[in-house]
Structure 1
Amino acid sequence: MNAFVRISLIASTALVAPTYAVAAEAPAAAAAAAEQPAAGVENSSPRTTSGDVIIVTARRRQETAQAVPLAISVIRGDSIEATGNFNVVKLQQLAPTLQVYTSNPRNTSVNIRGLGVPFGLTSDGFEQGVGIYVDDVYNSRVAAATFDFLDVAQVEVLRGPQGTLYGKNTTAGAINITTNQPTFDFEGRAEVSLGNLQYRQAKAAVSGPLTDQVAVRLAVASTSRRGIYFNTATDRYINEQDNLGLRGQVLVKPTDNLSITFSGDYSRQNPECCGTVFVRVGRTQRALNRQYDALVASINTARRAQGLPDYAVPSRNPYDRLTDLDSSLNAGNKIGGASARIKWDVGGGTLTSVTAWRFWDWKPENDRDFTGLSIVSKSQNPSQQDQYSQEFRYNYSSDRFDVVLGLFGFKQRIDTQGTEQQGTDAARWSLAPSANPLAPVNNPSSLAGLTATNTQFLKSTSAALFGQVAWKATDALTIQPGLRLNYDKKSGFYQRVVTDAQGRSLSCTPVPTAGTIAGTTTQCGVYQPQQTSPSDSAWNLTYDLNINYKLARDVLAYATYAKSFKTLGINQNGLPLNADNTVNLDASTVKPESVNHFEVGLKTQFWNRRATFNVTAFRTEIKNFQATVNGGQFGTVRGYLANAEKVRSQGIEADFKVRTSERFTAYTNAAYTDAKYKKFTNAPCPPELSGGTFVAANGSQQPGPAGVPGSLSPRACDISGQGLPGVSKWAFSYGAEANAPVELLGKDGQLYFGVDGNYRSKWNSNASPSIYTQVKGYALTNFRAGFRGDNFDVFGWVRNAFDVNYMDLLQVAPGNVGLIAGQPGDPRTWGGTIKYNF
C-alpha cells in the first residue's frame, strides 16, 4: 500500500473536461449556493467569479460540479464538437480513465478504471458495469455508444459504483448524456464539415414553441467517410462511416410545476465493416507444420496443383492498411426508441417518471479467420433486442436534507440467429497433415460446407428500490448514506444445429439422435451440436456511504465506501469443449461479482475561481470477476464467460483547469490506473501457451516452454498478478485555446487557435495477457484554428496531426495458429467546419 501511496503522489493532473463555454445556464439557486462560504470561513468582501459555473445532474438534482462529492468529468457539447470526439468511443481521448474498445458495434467494451464489462467478444448474458444514460433513459447494450452524438448539451462521466442514485445498478460508473431540450424561444443551429477521406458531416437542430404550453425540438445528423483499410479482395475501402441520426422531442408544460417531455429517436449505420489487417505471427505450442506460415505453404502447394497462384497477405506492415478479407463484411446497425419523462413539483420535492422503450437491430457479417483464405467462409450473428424500463424517482431538498428515492423496473429480450460455415481451405488449416491422400486433411470436402446454425434468446428482468440521503450535519459537514435492494432474473436458450455440405443434421453422440446422421470425428472436433437452457435469479442488497466536508469556501474533501454487486451471468454464445470434445456444461452460468470500493478526493478552486484542481484516489476489489475468455477453438463460435477469483483496480486521478481570462483557457488531465488479476488460477492460456497436446489431467506432466512448437500445453493458466486487458497504467490528455478579438469582413468576433492531445501507455489486447497482443503506447495531437462571432463559427482542424501510427485493437485468430490481426487507428485527417446559430 505504501508503494501505491508513493505512486499516487506522483500524479499531478487528471480528468476534467476542456471548457471554454458554459454548458448550461446556471439556475440561480445553484449559482448562489456556489458562492456561499463554508462555516467559519470569512467572506469579507464580494468578488467576481471568473471561472465557469458547470451545472450537472449526477446526483439527480441540479448542482455545481465542484459541489458534487464524487469523481466526475463534465464534457460540454461545444468541447465535444471542437475536438472531433463525436461518440463515446472517441470520448476516451478527453477522459483518461475511460477505456472504450470496439471491433464492431456489438463487440464494444466501455470500461472505467479498467472495470465494467469483460474485455473481448461480447456475450448478451452479462450486465454492463458502466451504465449509459441518455436523458435519464438506460441503454442496456453498449452498441449505443458507437453512434454519433446527436444534439448533445453535455456528457458527465461518473467514476465508481452508482447504484444508489441510478435506475440500473452500475459497479464501475455511469455515462450520463444530456441532450438539448425544447425551448419556448425559437432557436436553431446548422453545421457542415468536410474533410479528407471523403469525410462529410451535417448536423441541424431547430427548437421553438407551438403554443404557450407546447414546445418542440427536432435534430438530425449525418456522417459519412471513406474507409481507412483497402481490401484487395474486393478492390474497395472498408471500415467506412455511414451514419444517420434523428431525434424529436415535444415538451408539454400545462402548469409551472408540471412538465412532460415525449422523445423519439432513430439511428442507423450501414457500413462495410468491420475488417482487420495482418499484424504479426507469433509462435504457439502447436506443431510447427500447423502454424500460420507452414499452413499457408501447405495450402499454396495445393493451389499450385490446381493451377492457382500462391496466397500471400497484401502487406505485413499493418500501417499500409491493406487487407484481403474474402468473406462478406457488414455492420448494419439500427437503434432507437421512445420515452416519456414527467416532472411534477409536489409535496416540497420533485416526482419524476421516466417510461422508455428501446430497440436494437444488429445485422453483422464478419471474416472470422482474418485472412483471404476460405477457412471460415461465413460468420454472421444477427440479433434483435427490445427493452422496456420504468423509473420513478422523488427528490426532496431542505436546509438539512437532500433525499433521492427511486423505483426501477427493466425488462429485456434479445433474439439471435447465428451462422458460421467452414470453407474450402478449412481442412488443411484445422487438421493435422497426413501422407495418406485419403485422409480428411487432403480432402477439402471433409470440412467445406460444415455449418453451425445457432438459435438463441435471452430474457432478463430487473427490479430495484434505491435511495440516498444527504444529511447536512453542519454547514460544512455532510453525511450521505445510500441503499439499494435489487432483484434480477435471467433465462436463456441456446441451440446449435450442425449440418454438412448436403444439409444433413449431424450428431456427435455415440448413438445419433432421431433425424440426424453420425458426424465424423473431424467434423465434431470443429462444431458440436449443443442445446442449453440456463436460468437463474438473485436478490442483492448494496449500500454506500459518503462523508464530505467543506474545508473552505472553495475546498471540498470527501471519502466514499461502496459495497456493490454485479448480478449473475449466463453464457449465451455456445460453451467450450472439454479435452475429449464433449461440451463443458459447467460453464453455463457465472457467479455474481462482489465489489468493495474505497475512494477519497479533494476538490478545489482558487485564483478567484479561475483555476480548478481536483484529485481522487481509489481502490476497488472484486471477487468472482466476470471475464470473457476464448480458448482459441473454432467450436466455441464466440467467447464465453468465466469467473476470475479476484480483481483489484487502484489508482489516482487529478485534474487542473485554468481560465486566466476570456482570452485563454487550458486544461490537463492525468490518471494512473493499476488494474490486475489478484487471483485467476483457471484462466484460458495466451496463444504462446496454447495449441499443443494438453498435459495429462492427473498432473504427471509439465507444460513446455512458451512459444515452442510441439510443446505440451497447460489445460489452464494461472495469470494471477497480471494486468487487466485494455488498461493503460498512465493516461494523459491536455488542451488549450487562445483567442483575440478582431473584425473580419465587417463582423466582430474572435480569431482563435486551439490544441488538444492525449497519451496512453502500453496495454494488452487479449483476455489473458499475451506477448503478442501488447499494444504500444502512443500520443495523438490535434489542432484547430478559426474565427467565431455571436452566431457563427468557421474553423479548420487537423487530427492526429503528426500522423502517428497506433493500434486501436489486436485480436488473436482462432485455431492457435499464431496469427495476430488488428485494427490500426485513424491516420492524419483534416478538414473544415462551418456552424451557424439563429
Structure 2
Amino acid sequence: MNRYVKTALLAGAAWGALSTIAVAQDAPAQTEEAAANVGEVIVTARRRDEALKDVPISVSALGAERLEQTGAADITALQQQTPNATVQVARGSNSTLISFIRGVGQQDPLWGFEPGVGLYVDDVYVARPQGAVLDIYDVQRIEVLRGPQGSLYGRNTVGGAVKYVTSRLALDPELTLRGAYGSYNQIDLMASGSLPLADNFRVGGAVASFQRDGYGENLNTGAEHYNKDVLAGRLSAEWDLRDDVSLRFAYDRVQDDSNPRHGHREVAGVGPGAGSPDSVYDTYAGIGDENSVMNQGASATMEARLNNNLTFKSITAWREGDTDTVIDFDNTPAPTLDIPAYYADDQFTQEFQLLFDYDRIQGVVGFFYLDGHAEGAFDTIAGNLNLVIGTAGSVETESWAGFADVNLDLTDRLHLGLGARYTLDNKTATVFRANYATATRSPLLGGTPRAPTLIRTDYTASNDYDQFTPRIALSYDLTDDVTTYASYSRGFKSGGFDMRGDAIFTPDTVNGYEPETVDSYEIGLKGSLDRLSFAAAVFRNEYNDQQVTTQVPAVTGVASFVDNVGSSTITGAEFEGRLRILDNLHANFAVGYLDAQFDEFLRYNLTTRVYEDIADQVVLQNAPKWTGYLGLTWFGDVGGGELAVTPSVSYRDDYSMFEFPSPTLDQEAYALVDLSIVWIDPTDRYTVGLYGKNLTDEEYRVGAYNFPGALFNNSVVGYYGPPQTVTASLQVKF
C-alpha cells in the first residue's frame, strides 16, 4: 500500500497545484513564443489531427525543430527526453530496436516473439524490430504514446506506441543538403527535396549515408567494434486527384553493414583472450565481423473527403527485412559460445478508416488486416561441449481487427471518449532444435552436412488468440487552455510459440504461450499557463499473463523459456513541459517515476519439473524508478541570424537488465550531459550546428548477456551506450 501512497502524493501534488492555478487565472494571451504550447501542438495520437491539449492520452511530441536543437541522431534519442521510456539499440546489433514504456516492453528480438511497444512510420505498423533504429532525417515529428493503445493501435502496444512522421513534399521546388563530421571520423551526408511535376503532382525523396569508425576494436581480428555503416533512403509521390481526394506513395530502404557488436566481457574467464579489455568498447571475439541488415517497405495512402463531415482513408503497405549476423557471447577467440544467425520477415497490411466530425461528435471507425511471415535460424556453438545446438523455425501470422474511437462533447467543456477494438490472430509455427556433433556450424547455417545426434524439438502447431480491448476517457476543460482527464484502457500482446523452445528441458513448450494484457488507469492534466506548457499524469498498470523470456545454462546446453509468468503492478507519475523563463530563454523538462513490482512470477524448475512462484526474487527489467530531463535553450541574434544554445542533462535511476538482478550487469544511476549550438542565417538558407554528446564520457550499459559458470567460461557480457562525441554540421537549403 505504501507504493500507492507515494505515487498518489507525487502526482497529486503537481496536479492539485496546477489545476488550482488553471481555474483561478483567466485564459492567457497568445504570443509568438506560445507556438510551443501544448494547446498549439498538433498530433495524430487518435488517428486524426488534434491539439495535444485535447487528447486524453499521455503523449510526448518532438518536432523537427526540437530534434535539431538537441542534435537527435536516431530514434533512441527519445529515451533522454521522454519520461519513463527506454528506447535503445538491442544487444549485439546496430539497428535492432528495443523499447519499453512505463516498464512494459520486450528486449528479445527473435523472430516470432513480438515487441510490446508498437512502431509506426507514417501510420504503417512495423512488426519486427530489426532495422527499426530509425535515423532522424527528413522527419516532421515523432510522437510517443505512453500506456496501452489497444483500441486504436491494437495488438503489441501494451506499453505504448512510437509514431515516426516523415516530412510531406513541398509545393514548390526544394532541395536541402546536409553534411556532418565528428568524433571517430563520423561522416554523415544527407540530401532531400521535392519537385512539382504538375500543379497537383509532386515527387521527392531523401537519401542519407551515416559512417563512423568504431568506438572500440576487436583485439583478436583488428576489426572496428561499435562502428556505423548505414545507407538509407526514401522516395515519395503525392497526387491531388481533386480538391477532396489525394494519394501518397512512399518507398523506403535501409542497408546496415555495420560490424556486429560482440559486447565487452565483464568477468575474466580462462584461456587466451578471456580477459576483460580495458575499454568497454573492445572485445576479443573470434566468430567474425560480418553483419548485414536490410529493411525496406512501400505504402500507398489514399484520403478522400466524402463531404464536410466524413473522410475515408486507406493505408496499404508491404515491408520486408533480412539479417545475417554473428554474435560472440563469450567474447574470446575460442568457440565457447558463438551464435551465427539469420532472420527474415515480410508483412502486408491493409487499414481502412472512416473519420467523422460533426458538431458534438468526432471519431474514427476502421478495419485492420495483417499477413506476416517471420523465420530464422541460429547456432549455439558450444566448444566446451564439442557440439552445436541448431535452432530454426518460422511463424505465419494473420491478424484481423475492427475498431472505433469516438469523442462526445457532452457540454462545451465536458467530453467523453469511448474506444473499442476486437482483434483475432491466427498463428502457425514450426520449431526445430537439434544437437550436432563437433563445435562448427550446423547444416542449418551452411555448415558441414551431417545428421543430428539428438533432436530436441520438432513440431508444427497453430493457435488462435482473440481479445477485446476497450478504452474510456472523461475530460473536462478547466479553462480554454487547460484540460484534466481520467481514463481506463486495455492493451494486449499476442500469444505465440517459443522459437528457441527445448521440448526435452521444457515439454510444455509445444503448447505455446498465451497473450498478455495490461489494464491501465490514468488521471492527467495538460495545457498552458501563461509561460508554462505542461502535461502531468498519474497511472496504475495491472499487467497480467506477463510473457518473459529466460535463458539459463543447463548441463547439456542452454534452456530457453517463454512463459506467462504471472502478473505485476506498475504505478507511476509523469510531468513534462516547457517553461518560457524569459522571452529568449526556455526550459524543456520531463520527470518520470515508476514503482514496479511482480505480484506473481512462476518459474519452471528444471530439476523438480514444477513451476514455482519466485516473485520475491525478481524485478521488472528496464524499469528505473526515476527518469528525468532538463534542457535550457537560449535564443539570440548573432551575425544577423538566430543562435540557439541548448545545454541539457538526462538522468536514469538504477535498473536491472533482466528479471533476475545481477550486481555485475545491472546499471547504476547515471546522467548524460549534452550541449548543442545551432545558428540559422537570416534567410533560413544556412544552418550550422555543433553538438556535444555525453560530455562527461559516462560509461553505461544498455544491454547484457549472462551465462556464468565453467561450461561457458563465465560468459558475462555487457553492451554500452556511446562515449563522448562532438559533431559539426552544415545544412544548405535551395
TM over 0.5: yes
* Number of the residue aligned with 1:834: 730
> Counterparts of 1:639 and 1:751 in 2: how far apart (Å)?
54
Instruction: Pick the aligned partner of 2:294 from 334, 346, 359.
Output: 334
Structure 2 stretches of 5 or more lacking a match? 15-21, 444-448
* Number of the residue aligned with 2:657: 765
Q: Percent identity?
A: 27
> Counterparts of 2:677 and 2:548 in 1: how far apart (Å)?
44
Instruction: Pick the aligned partner of 1:532 from 456, 459, 465.
Output: 459
Aligned residue type for 2:527: T
> Counterparts of 1:148 and 1:594 in 2: how far apart (Å)?
31
- The TM-score, its normalising length taken from structure 1, stands at 0.80
SS in 1 for 2:80: coil
* Number of the residue aligned with 2:17: none
Shift in alpha-carbon separation, 1:538–1:362, aligned structure 2, 3 A: same
- Map Cα deviations across residues 606-635 of structure 1 (whole Å, 9 max, x no partner): 12xx31122100111121101111122496
- Map Cα deviations across residues 406-430 of structure 1 (whole Å, 9 max, x no partner): 100001011213334344xx24xxx
- The TM-score, its normalising length taken from structure 2, stands at 0.91
Aligned residue type for 1:542: T
Shift in alpha-carbon separation, 1:383–1:586, aligned structure 2, 3 A: closer
Aligned residue type for 2:496: G
* Number of the residue aligned with 1:556: 483
* Number of the residue aligned with 1:349: 310
- Map Cα deviations across residues 340-399 of structure 1 (whole Å, 9 max, x no partner): 0000001421110000000011111111323233323x5222121110000000110111
Shift in alpha-carbon separation, 1:616–1:576, aligned structure 2, 3 A: farther
Q: For the Cα contact (< 8 Å) 2:11–2:538, is it kept in 1?
A: no
Instruction: Pick the aligned partner of 2:144 from 157, 163, 184.
Output: 157
> Counterparts of 1:362 and 1:464 in 2: how far apart (Å)?
29
* Number of the residue aligned with 2:547: 626
> Counterparts of 1:502 and 1:85 in 2: how far apart (Å)?
43
Residue 588 of structure 1 and its aligned partner are, at CA, apart by 4.2
1:116 aligns with 2:53: no
Q: For the Cα contact (< 8 Å) 1:605–1:611, is it kept in 2?
A: yes
Q: For the Cα contact (< 8 Å) 1:335–1:358, is it kept in 2?
A: yes
> Counterparts of 1:359 and 1:190 in 2: how far apart (Å)?
29
Q: For the Cα contact (< 8 Å) 2:298–2:319, is it kept in 1?
A: yes
Residue 829 of structure 1 and its aligned partner are, at CA, apart by 0.6
Q: For the Cα contact (< 8 Å) 1:559–1:601, is it kept in 2?
A: yes
Number of residue pairs the alignment of both structures matches: 711
Aligned residue type for 1:467: A
SS in 2 for 1:486: strand
SS in 2 for 1:798: strand
SS in 2 for 1:766: coil
Q: For the Cα contact (< 8 Å) 1:455–1:496, is it kept in 2?
A: yes
Aligned residue type for 1:111: F
* Number of the residue aligned with 1:410: 370
Aligned residue type for 2:305: D
SS in 2 for 1:142: coil
> Counterparts of 1:313 and 1:51 in 2: how far apart (Å)?
58
Shift in alpha-carbon separation, 1:759–1:381, aligned structure 2, 3 A: same
Structure with the larger strand share = 2
Shift in alpha-carbon separation, 1:58–1:79, aligned structure 2, 3 A: same
Instruction: Pick the aligned partner of 1:487 from 421, 424, 428.
Output: 424
Q: For the Cα contact (< 8 Å) 1:749–1:787, is it kept in 2?
A: yes
SS in 1 for 2:345: strand
* Number of the residue aligned with 1:614: 535
- Map Cα deviations across residues 543-565 of structure 1 (whole Å, 9 max, x no partner): 11010000112110001112333
> Counterparts of 1:323 and 1:237 in 2: how far apart (Å)?
10
Instruction: Pick the aligned partner of 2:178 from 186, 191, 195.
Output: 191
> Counterparts of 1:13 and 1:194 in 2: how far apart (Å)?
46
Q: For the Cα contact (< 8 Å) 1:619–1:650, is it kept in 2?
A: yes
Residue 164 of structure 1 and its aligned partner are, at CA, apart by 1.8
* Number of the residue aligned with 2:19: none
> Counterparts of 1:588 and 1:818 in 2: how far apart (Å)?
33
> Counterparts of 1:403 and 1:808 in 2: how far apart (Å)?
40
Task: Answer with 1 or 2: which has the greater Rg.
Answer: 1
Structure 1 stretches of 5 or more lacking a match? 15-37, 282-291, 301-310, 428-446, 507-514, 685-693, 699-714
> Counterparts of 2:218 and 2:24 in 1: how far apart (Å)?
69
- Map Cα deviations across residues 249-268 of structure 1 (whole Å, 9 max, x no partner): 10010111000000011111
SS in 2 for 1:233: coil
> Counterparts of 1:769 and 1:39 in 2: how far apart (Å)?
46
1:9 aligns with 2:12: no
Instruction: Pick the aligned partner of 2:614 from 718, 721, 741.
Output: 718
Residue 107 of structure 1 and its aligned partner are, at CA, apart by 5.9
> Counterparts of 1:140 and 1:337 in 2: how far apart (Å)?
12
> Counterparts of 2:556 and 2:607 in 1: how far apart (Å)?
21
Instruction: Pick the aligned partner of 2:588 from 664, 667, 671.
Output: 667
> Counterparts of 1:772 and 1:683 in 2: how far apart (Å)?
24
Q: For the Cα contact (< 8 Å) 1:627–1:643, is it kept in 2?
A: yes
> Counterparts of 1:373 and 1:140 in 2: how far apart (Å)?
36
1:74 aligns with 2:11: no
- Map Cα deviations across residues 47-75 of structure 1 (whole Å, 9 max, x no partner): 54631221111111112112211100001
SS in 1 for 2:650: strand
> Counterparts of 2:730 and 2:521 in 1: how far apart (Å)?
46
* Number of the residue aligned with 1:593: 516
Shift in alpha-carbon separation, 1:166–1:660, aligned structure 2, 3 A: same
Aligned residue type for 1:345: R
> Counterparts of 1:619 and 1:194 in 2: how far apart (Å)?
45
SS in 2 for 1:275: coil
- Kindly report which structure 2 residues correspond to 1:644-655, keeping only aligned pairs within 5 A, or say none: 644-655=565-576
Residue 649 of structure 1 and its aligned partner are, at CA, apart by 1.4
Aligned residue type for 1:50: E
> Counterparts of 2:25 and 2:87 in 1: how far apart (Å)?
43
Shift in alpha-carbon separation, 1:213–1:633, aligned structure 2, 3 A: farther
* Number of the residue aligned with 1:803: 697
> Counterparts of 2:632 and 2:12 in 1: how far apart (Å)?
17
> Counterparts of 1:366 and 1:810 in 2: how far apart (Å)?
12
Shift in alpha-carbon separation, 1:505–1:229, aligned structure 2, 3 A: closer
Instruction: Pick the aligned partner of 1:573 from 497, 500, 508.
Output: 500
* Number of the residue aligned with 2:331: 370
SS in 2 for 1:92: helix
Shift in alpha-carbon separation, 1:11–1:755, aligned structure 2, 3 A: farther
Residue 329 of structure 1 and its aligned partner are, at CA, apart by 3.1
- Kindly report which structure 2 residues correspond to 1:56-75, keeping only aligned pairs within 5 A, or say none: 56-75=43-62
Q: For the Cα contact (< 8 Å) 2:403–2:420, is it kept in 1?
A: yes
Residue 727 of structure 1 and its aligned partner are, at CA, apart by 1.4
1:103 aligns with 2:127: no
- Map Cα deviations across residues 762-800 of structure 1 (whole Å, 9 max, x no partner): 111123223332211110101122422222111222111
Q: For the Cα contact (< 8 Å) 1:56–1:62, is it kept in 2?
A: yes
Q: For the Cα contact (< 8 Å) 1:628–1:639, is it kept in 2?
A: yes
> Counterparts of 1:84 and 1:605 in 2: how far apart (Å)?
26
* Number of the residue aligned with 2:189: 202
1:642 aligns with 2:625: no
* Number of the residue aligned with 1:401: 361
Q: For the Cα contact (< 8 Å) 1:13–1:668, is it kept in 2?
A: no
Aligned residue type for 1:590: Y
Q: For the Cα contact (< 8 Å) 1:576–1:636, is it kept in 2?
A: no
Q: For the Cα contact (< 8 Å) 2:356–2:364, is it kept in 1?
A: yes
> Counterparts of 2:226 and 2:627 in 1: how far apart (Å)?
27
Residue 696 of structure 1 and its aligned partner are, at CA, apart by 6.0
Residue 497 of structure 1 and its aligned partner are, at CA, apart by 4.3
Q: CA RMSD of the aligned region, Å?
A: 2.9
> Counterparts of 1:109 and 1:246 in 2: how far apart (Å)?
22
Q: For the Cα contact (< 8 Å) 1:122–1:639, is it kept in 2?
A: no
> Counterparts of 1:502 and 1:197 in 2: how far apart (Å)?
36
Aligned residue type for 1:134: V
Shift in alpha-carbon separation, 1:228–1:717, aligned structure 2, 3 A: farther
